[in-house]
Structure 1
Amino acid sequence: MPDIDAPINAVTIYNDRAQITRIGSLTLEAGEHVLRINGLPQFQRDSLRASGRGPQGARILNIDVSDEYHARPPEAESQRLQAELAELTRQWRLLEAQQEALEDRRKWLRALGEQSKDFARGIAQGQMKAQECADFFQFMTAQASQDAEAALNLKASIQQAHAAVKAKEREYNQRTGNVNSDRLTITVTIDLTSAGEFTLEVTYIILGAAWHPTYDVRVQQSASEQHNGAHINLTYYGIVEQYTGEDWHDVALSLSTARPSKATIAPEIIPWYLRAYTPLPTPAPRARSLMSFSSVTSAGAAQDTNNGVDEEGIGMVAALAPQAVRAPLATMETTTIEQSGTALVFRVGRNIDIPSDNSPHKTTIAYDEFPCAFDYVCAPGMEELVHVRGIITNTSERVLLPGEAQIFMESEYVGSTRIKQTANNEQFKIFLGIDDSIKVTRKLIEHTVDKGGILLQNDIRRTTYAYRITVHNYAQVTKQIVVRDRLPIPQNERIKVRTQSITPQPTERTKLEQLTWEFALPTNGERSIEYHFTVEYPGTLNVMGLPSE
């Protein structure tokens, strides 16, 4: 039963697993042979497939998987880390033993020092000379000083050795802590009609590997683009992590957007019922019971309200400004893209190494240039800042998967945001920072209670509110402005909100009374928005959420 050396040749990584391809060759005589690949980490046995190439008429008769049992992971890297950990631990224990021996000697010296009255008695009785006593105490003092210095040095060395042991333990646990030490053996039975070289290829699915996308977004704006927008350079990365228990050396790497775990079954629709809430009855007390039972209560679910006016994230501080002309960037090596059914496969252009350390490893998938337009979004009811928003069209031939994005204005880091899943030719929007050249304010210009606070008919109180929003463009170019605000929504039938006027009318008004105005604001231009509304409610009702004066 010959062992065949079949290293990993290619890896295709999915969102939560990987497909491993191993290839090995042997020169064999004609006849039946059992080939064995040893020491493989745990994989999904039912995913194992085998194929081969060899002399005319070669056949694969059988494929089998058996277990290997190991006390520790057998990989050379794990064994190296274990040996280093053992040596560091030995050095740490040796230093602790030296510390104990030094402490014993210091105790002995202290015990001798406590005999000083006996020395004085010996000098008085002529049994010891004064010089001998002086020499002894000089030795004691020098030795005590040396021991004190040695104790401090040993303490520092022990702390350093202990820290080194803990660091090596973390490294060892990171590589082996999530890995089963037992291994698998693949056995393949083949039949050759003639002697020759046979090449065996096996594939299987293994857990403990994953990838996810991340992006760098660089906004580039030349002087000619100040009025019309800009373009962005988007670098599409794949972040690969694996802790399969085996390092991947010099492998052809592919990243697939297929999701095997989601492809097995579609969700079934179950009936949706609405029913009235019926409180649980209070249990009756038992006869002659000495204790009473408290009634059972049920807490209502708290309603989650969102006071924000936008679902999109807000970027960090930055402003768009023309930049000096710079030398072109160096080109990046990217992947080739293939369509595989409904999924995309990104094939890395060179073989790479990925250790089994559960650490992120980055590879570049693509580098694209997209057109980008800007608008300037503010919600002065929440904050009096204006955010730059880029409106970008995915003109590439690939889908942008959801992932984190790092944003740069030219070479300056702005912050991070998240890109949603974006199909080919679909738009996506990201915030790029704060534009301080546009000022926005929101002021309460009216707050009155009818008849000076006297209650109206049916004990109803009516309060009128009015707000003015002012936007001023101090920039040297026209800006496309988006203003967002809101009107209150009553959640009690005894509270009535009536809109008196909105000037100008909003571009969009939702059922949740979220208001949006969109307009172009020229250089040094100013636009005001005013709206009035009343709130009516019983005078005895304490209303939460009313605007303050």
Structure 2
Amino acid sequence: MNAVEIEAPIVGVTVYPDRARVTRRGSTRLAAGEHRVRVAPLPLGLRRDSLRVGGRGAATVLGVDVTTWRQARSVDGQVRELEQRARELADELAGVDDADRIEEQRGQFLARLAERAGGTYARALASGDADPNDVVTFADSVAGQLSDSHGRRRGLARRRTDLTEELAAVQRQLDAASGKRQPDRLAAEVTVSVDADDAELDLELTYLVDGARWQSSYDLRLVDDTMTVTWFGLVSQDTGEDWPECVLQLSTARPAAAAGVPELSPWYLDRIRPAPPQTPMPAASFDRWPGSPPPGAPPALTGGAARSGPPLPKVRESVAAVEQGVSAATYRPARPVAVPADGSAHRATIAVLDLPALLDHVTVPVHAAEAHLRATVRNTSAHTLLPGPAAVFHGADFITATRLPTWAPGEETELALGVDDRLRVERKLRRRADTRATLGSTRRRDVEYRINVANHTPRPATVEVRDQLPVSRDEAVVVREPTLTPPPAERTELGELTWRLRLAPGESTEITMGFRVELAKGIELAGWRE
């Protein structure tokens, strides 16, 4: 049986939320007879039960084997360069240390020379045998040489620091490169036994690998009454093999969750039975372990000469082709994307959707006298948008970062678009009175609040105002006679009130909210707030 090794590069990858299906293809010419066709190296973590072999050609597949292959450690040119640089730096550091010791010895020699010469010159000057100018010249010469030596030692110290830092950086790069290369020493190989005629064989392998994933992210841009949703797929993988530019597909299917339908088990009721006493055990001590700014809008292009002629069309974005399945969708980006096995995320545009948005304002003046612009957006597309982070823009301005839940066709979602300072809100306590009833000993507290809302925007505004009445949790504390003008549109049993106001540009309105709290004798009120 002849052994043949063929190259079968990656030609397609389908990425699921938690794994990927990889397709490889290769061709070879086989003589008549039985052959063992070997494909290697493959990622060690491939799921062996997922391997499928197919293809075209006048041949019969007799069997498929998957084995572990000890891959010869390749000589990495970058590692060689780093090791060479580390040796050069170490040699240069040794040279700096030698030069510093020489300068240190020079300084010691000059200091001893100056000390000895000082006594000699002193005696010579006293006896008149030396010229004072010669003494000054000698002293200046020694001082200059000492100063130069100290300067050279300072320069050597700086050079030693620079070399030490560079050597540490090179060593870190070497450690990282060694860590990345370590898993590649073992790989998988597939051997396909075939009985072929004298013909060309086109072989195709598909298999599942863990360590691959994709997740959704979004840009949400509001312009007038339209929310443009740009859906991105962020693909990353650390499967042990790099994916070249090939046919890349993103699938919403979840193979891990499709193993079976949950089954019901009996639901039993019983009376509580006392537990037998247990011998107390000493408590064990455990350490407790704890549980991503999106880019802003690009700056506007200003300046330059005015463009003549008709305006240029808006730049279009390429989107993915979609194939809707029974329970999942598969998206194929318009351009190939290469994804190396380094865990970094690579972005592909899946879809650009223009969805209708209904704008209004929401204010809760009891907490903050601010009005928040809100967009209620309906998913009118055929896409089920998956959970993921989203950057929200109002026109060209970045507003906030949020997270979208699963958003099915026909569903609505609410997006906060930040504070709108053109809509002014004020809440004031207009009256408060504490009195005692004429008969009995019941005490009363009467309060009245007024909320003023003014629209200073150039367009009509719908404002949802939220406030609340206190709710008693004790029969000795009674809340009575609320004054609510105008009546709220909604009121809950927990005292939550909602008004919906429609204000024209420049228009303002006022809400009055008053109530009375009655306290029985000897009762002190808890939970009060202004």
**Same structural fold, with TM-score higher than 0.5 when normalized by the shorter chain:** yes
Instruction: Give the equivalent residue in structure 1 for 2:227.
Output: 232
Cα distance per residue 1:170-214 (max 9 Å; x no partner) = 86489568x57522112222222x111112211222122211111
Which residue does 1:389 correspond to in 2? 374
The yes-or-no answer on 1:100 pairing with 2:106 is no
Post-superposition offset of 1:336: 0.2
* 1:375 shift after superposition: 0.8
SS at match of 2:161: helix
Name whichever of 139-148 and 327-336 sits farther off: 139-148
Per-residue CA deviations over 1:399-429 (Å, capped at 9, x if unaligned) read 1112222222222222222222211222222
Correspondence for 1:195: 198
Quick one: distance in 1 between partners of 2:158 and 2:233?
50
Query: Are 2:482 and 1:481 equivalent residues in the alignment?
Result: no
**Structure whose CA Rg is larger:** 2
- State the SS of the aligned residue for 1:99: helix
Q: Is 1:2 aligned to residue 8 of structure 2?
A: no
What is the 5 A alignment of 1:111-150?
111-115=108-112, 116-120=114-118, 138-150=144-156
Moved more, 427-436 or 338-347: 427-436
For residues 486 and 45 of structure 1, do their structure 2 counterparts lie closer, same or farther at Cα, with a shift above 3 Å needed?
Answer: same
* 8 Å contact from structure 2 (residues 93, 163) kept in 1: no
The one-letter code of the counterpart of 2:94 is A
Shift of 1:70: 5.6
Question: C-alpha displacement at 1:471, in angstroms?
Answer: 1.0
Write the deviation string for residues 372-392 of structure 1: whole angstroms up to 9, x where unpaired: 221111111121111111122
In structure 2, the CA distance between the partners of 1:281 and 1:101, relative to structure 1 (3 Å rule), is: farther
Q: Which amino acid aligns with 1:431?
A: A
Q: Which residue of 2 aligns with 1:257?
A: 252
C-alpha distance 52-283 of structure 1, shift in aligned 2 (>3 A): closer
| Change in CA separation of 1:492 and 1:84 when aligned onto 2, cut-off 3 Å | farther
Q: 2:490 aligns with which of 476, 501, 508?
A: 508
**1:134–1:416 distance in 2 versus 1, CA, 3 Å:** closer
Contact kept, 8 Å, 1:174 with 1:357, in 2: the verdict is no
In the TM superposition, 1:263-282 aligns within 5 A as: 263-267=258-262
Partner of 2:207: 204
User: Closer, same or farther in 2 for the Cα pair 1:427/1:28, shift >3 Å?
Assistant: same
Matched, 1:66 2:70: no
Larger mean Cα displacement after TM superposition, 106-115 or 376-385: 106-115
Match of 2:446 in 1: 464
Which stretch has the larger CA shift, 466-475 or 262-271?
A: 262-271
Instruction: Choose from 364, 367, 380 the match for 1:379.
Output: 364
> What is the distance in 2 between the residues matched to 1:338 and 1:466?
60
Where do 5+ consecutive residues of structure 2 fail to align?
125-129, 284-295, 297-309
Cα displacement string for residues 226-254 of structure 1 (whole angstroms, at most 9, x for unaligned residues): xxxx2222211111112222221122111
- Checking the alignment, whether the CA contact within 8 Å between 2:57 and 2:202 is kept in structure 1 is no
Residues 538 and 71 (structure 1), Cα distance of their counterparts in 2 relative to 1, 3 Å cut? farther
Aligned amino acid, residue 409 of structure 2: N
Superposition TM-score, scaled by structure 2 size:
0.81
**Structure 1 counterpart of 2:41, from 26, 39, 52:** 39
Cα displacement (A) at 1:477: 2.0
Q: Report the number of matched residues.
A: 492
Shift of 1:275: 9.7
Q: Against the structure 1 CA distance between its residues 542 and 150, is the aligned structure 2 distance closer, same or farther, given a 3 Å change threshold?
A: farther
CA contact (8 A) 2:378 2:413 kept: yes
Alignment-mate amino acid for residue 183 of structure 1: A
Q: What is the deviation of 1:439?
A: 0.8
Q: In the TM superposition, what is the alpha-carbon distance from 1:279 to its structure 2 partner?
A: 12
The offset of 1:28, in angstroms, is 0.8
Distance in structure 1 (CA, Å) of the matches to 2:511 and 2:277: 56
- For the aligned residue pairs, the C-alpha RMSD in angstroms reads 3.8
Matched with 1:370 is 355
Structure-2 residue corresponding to 1:162: 168
Are 1:519 and 2:517 counterparts? Answer: no
CA separation in 1, counterparts of 2:5 and 2:273? 69
Structure 1 letter corresponding to 2:194: I
Distance 2:471 2:72 in 1: 66
Moved more, 378-387 or 491-500: 491-500
- Distance in 2 separating the partners of 1:90 and 1:265: 59
CA distance in structure 2 between the aligned counterparts of 1:455 and 1:132, rounded to whole angstroms = 114
Distance 1:390 1:199, change over 3 A: same
The 1-side partners of 2:270 and 2:447 are apart by: 39
CA drift of 1:24 comes to: 1.2
